[in-house]
A and B are shown apart, each in its own frame.
Chain A
Amino acid sequence: MSTMHTTEERAEEEFLLSVEDLNTSFFTDKETIRAVDGVSFGIQRGETVGVVGESGSGKSVTARSIMGLIESPGKITGGHIKYRGLDAVQTFANRYSRSTADLTKGDEVGENDYVVVEERDGDTITEGYIDIANAPENARNRIRGSSISMVFQDPLTSLNPVYTVGNQIKEALRLHQGLRGREATAEAISLLEAVGIPDAPRRVKEYPHQFSGGMRQRAVIATALACDPELLICDEPTTALDVTIQAQILELLKELQDERDLAIMFITHDMGVVAEICDRVNVMYAGEFVERASAKELFGNPKHPYTQGLLSSIPSRNTEGERLATIEGDVPTPNEPATYCRFAPRCPKAFEDCEHVHPVLTDVNEDAQDHEAACLLYPEDVPQTEAVDRHETRNSAAETEVSE
């Protein structure tokens, strides 16, 4: 399903990473779970994009799909993940020339091509991308850690308890930059200092259990930054931490982003953290993005009923003593392709069409810059029947596209 409409068309080339119609499913004996069901978004250089949702929404699976960490019985069943880091594209074009489609030379993008060169300036590539969804394991290995790094939720299990922290940082350095010995140790120490761990020369020789929770997470961030990636994916990095430590880590991430022009994809379920650190936010529900906006817009003007429900169930947003607003029901597990709105059973604003038409992300109104919601109520400045029609035509357009 394509969501190439006004705001996205802006400039695909501006995005460091653009995900197009990603589909990841898990095929178990009992059922098929469409964990990520047609998700598209983009991350620009140096910006922080948040993905918010509850457990079961599929946000972790999205991150792992981008990193290529989906294992059987899961599979990426469709879509593209286009990474546009030029250094990586250049290296890949040289190394995997057989799977490279060079558009400047008149190639066509074949089925097995996962490197595409779009523009050249003499010999150097100025525009191009690597399609991670299509790439084989060894290619993905090269990207992981060096171009795109990931920070996981639980620092206790992200670090191997039988190796020193320094050893683990040096492992990443050795793998991607070929550093060894004293050079590697010096680099590891400077990384630990960069993430704010005091007395780094001593710490580099210590084991993870000698670190506290916050420091472990800093060490994990140091490992992730070891090879100077351009995109950092953080999967709920502060959920397991205390609030004061969380504040430190968020501050650290902002600092690092400024220093290194790092793009960050931040996954969380904590709306407070989102407001704190994200520039743009995507709200995810049952495998789909249901609202997309800048952080200010989303919190000031939430449009999708799910977002509204989420925001009003947060205690700090309610005055004390009142009952918290709740959303009835539970998050569904998406098993079949959506031909209806998945939130409809729980939505306080649902009406009949919601059971038959699948909403797609649309601008919420005429003037909206960069604020979209997947709800039949929008665009809100046109009559409802016309709005529903628009969603319907988009759906069938997508279907004909697919069947071709």
Chain B
Amino acid sequence: MSTSDSRTTTESVTGSDTLVRVRDLKTYYPGGGIIEDKPVKAVDGVSFDIQRGETLGLVGESGCGKTTLGRTLVRLESATAGEIKYDGTEVTSLSGTDLKRWRRNVQMVFQDPDSSLNERMTIGEIVQEPLNVHDWPYLSVAVTGGGSDGVSVAGSKVEAFDRERHGRPDITVSLDGSTSVEIRDAIHMSQADVSVSVNGDEVEVGVKPSKKQLRRARVRELLDTVGLQPEHYYRYPHQFSGGQKQRIGIARALALEPDFVILDEPVSALDASVQAKILNLLEDLQDEFDLTYLFIAHDLAVVEHICDRVAVMYLGNVMELGDAEGVFDDTANPYTHSLLSAIPEPDPTAEKQRITLRGTPPSPRDPPSGCPFSTRCPMKIRPEAYDDLDNDVWEAIQIFRDVLRERENREKSVTQQFLEFTGIRDPYADIDEIVDEVFGHLDVPDNATRHIETAVEMVREGDSDEARTYLHEEFGSVCEQEPPDAYEVSETGRVSTCHRHQAEYESPADYLQTHVLDD
């Protein structure tokens, strides 16, 4: 049963544990044209939540905006509109020192192992760089226990603990009974390296190793954690294989102890067996450090394996969002159906019912009106008159409308513009050939033929715009007129963005069985 719910998300499920909250996020790149500025709508109104400790997968094909979304979350791109709340803090408006401090919480692992590491730096330097930038560790000292109020902290290398700036204290001195010292795990010092002396209401803390030594030790430990040998500190990236380079990238991302890691296609550039190792490593790290992942990928099999919930993106919009099992086994959205059916199954005996999508995704500079998937959707809502029309004929009509639209929108050189403007050259001179090529081998019923020919007439007279509008009125439907809302499609809170979830239409899963796969 689908309910009409505008922009429902999984917020209602567990509100207090939400780490990242994205609402109606838009990231547009400026168009660059001087006269007419059509921005590239990379992310066009996206909303979702990420719970602490979970892995959210973000899948889609190239051009859908998933990489841009990831980069916006790390503040490598600025959002054009919308809000991102990280643990309550509004991220889009951060700047200056606040931004730099916030960056410790969110880190990114990049896609291409060859270009994400500076080849002129040793891997030790590469992993150490974030630590240097943030002057890690702060060596913040918190004093607890009886009589700890009003006690000040002194010492050349340490500073007093400030929750806002430091998050967690690095050294905790407890004054209960005998003074005891606790050092946070990530900092490689033993008790013997810290000397504490209490002079009245001042606690003097001396730390033996230098910050540089501590950073080095941490880098060595990180290298060990990701499966590399700490002795390789002084090696250069090109001396490592692709999988190892990716491990270095992961080590670098973990250096500042982030809580949220965005993985931008981390295994796409790797071979199958190496992929498996890196995926295992990522899962282990998530368990060990309580990380929250946003896993961006285009390989659905990988996503199914590692992610708890999945968001499917197309042309800057989230089409389906929900638990991984539901998205893959109980698919609701037409785009997800098409995506899943396109994956080649490593089993030659499997009889696959494949939906092969027609055409290519439209340009994000000029997204279709209404539903972004309307130009290619195999389950597009048809006007009632054509409900029983042959699938091939219906597709041919779509292709015809596509051709007209593409011709109108293509880049024209100045000469072409001039020639067309003055009427010297007619861009639709070959309209008959087009019709022949598209419909030639098909048996088009009369009611459709009539309208097609009317449109062709209009084109011949030079009114291509009118022809397109006419075809739109005749063959178009709500899919092209209004952008669909997100409807809840299961009890687990999964949502899918499609008009077919409304009561008056057949749901996509049903339509699939009755219309699409029947041929």
B271 contacts the other chain (Cβ, under 8 Å)?
A: yes
B275 contacts the other chain (Cβ, under 8 Å)?
A: yes
Q: Is the CB of B359 within 8 A of A213?
A: no
Provide the bound-state CA to CA distance between A199 and B434, in Å. 7
Main secondary structure of the interface of A (DSSP, over half): helix
A345 contacts the other chain (Cβ, under 8 Å)?
A: no
**Do A244 and B349 contact each other (CB < 8 Å), given the known contacts A314-B301, A320-B305, A323-B280?**
no
**Do A275 and B271 contact each other (CB < 8 Å), given the known contacts A199-B403, A201-B433, A243-B300?**
no
- Encoded as 1 (CB less than 8 Å from any A CB) or 0, chain B from 279 to 310 comes to 11001000000000000001111101110000
Partner of A313, one of B276, B325, B434: B276
B interface bracket (residues with beta carbon within 8 Å of A)? 35 or more
Binds B, one of A15-23, A74-82, A266-274: A266-274
Binds B, one of A116-124, A246-254, A393-401: A246-254
Provide the bound-state CA to CA distance between A199 and B350, in Å. 35
Q: Is the CB of B276 within 8 A of A242?
A: no
Q: Is the CB of B360 within 8 A of A214?
A: yes
- Encoded as 1 (CB less than 8 Å from any B CB) or 0, chain A from 205 to 249 comes to 000001011110000000000000000000000000011111110
Q: Is the CB of A247 within 8 A of B344?
A: yes
CB distance from A339 to the nearest CB of B (A): 25
Which residues on B sit within 8 Å (CB–CB) of A324? 276-277, 279-280, 305
- Encoded as 1 (CB less than 8 Å from any A CB) or 0, chain B from 417 to 459 comes to 0000000000000100110011000000000000000000000
Provide the bound-state CA to CA distance between A296 and B347, in Å. 8
A352 contacts the other chain (Cβ, under 8 Å)?
A: no
CB distance from A283 to the nearest CB of B (A): 12
Which residues on A sit within 8 Å (CB–CB) of B77? none
The count of A-to-B residue pairs whose CB atoms sit within 8 angstroms is 137
**Do A246 and B342 contact each other (CB < 8 Å), given the known contacts A198-B403, A296-B348?**
yes
A130 contacts the other chain (Cβ, under 8 Å)?
A: no
CB distance from B415 to the nearest CB of A (A): 13
Q: Is the CB of B348 within 8 A of A320?
A: no
CB distance from A220 to the nearest CB of B (A): 15
Provide the bound-state CA to CA distance between A299 and B348, in Å. 7
Q: Is the CB of A247 within 8 A of B407?
A: no
CB distance from B458 to the nearest CB of A (A): 18
* Residues on B facing A (Cβ under 8 Å): 61-62, 241-243, 271-277, 279-280, 283, 298-302, 304-306, 324-325, 338-339, 341-350, 354, 356-357, 359-361, 399, 402-403, 406-407, 410-411, 430, 433-434, 437-438
List, sorted by A's number, 19 A–B pairs whose CB atoms are closer than 8 Å: A198-B403, A200-B437, A201-B433, A242-B61, A243-B339, A244-B61, A244-B339, A244-B357, A245-B360, A247-B354, A269-B272, A270-B272, A276-B344, A300-B349, A313-B272, A316-B345, A317-B346, A325-B276, A330-B243
Given contacts A212-B360, A244-B342, 13 further A-B contacts (CB under 8 A): A199-B406, A201-B430, A247-B341, A247-B354, A271-B346, A275-B346, A315-B301, A315-B305, A316-B305, A316-B345, A317-B346, A318-B305, A320-B305
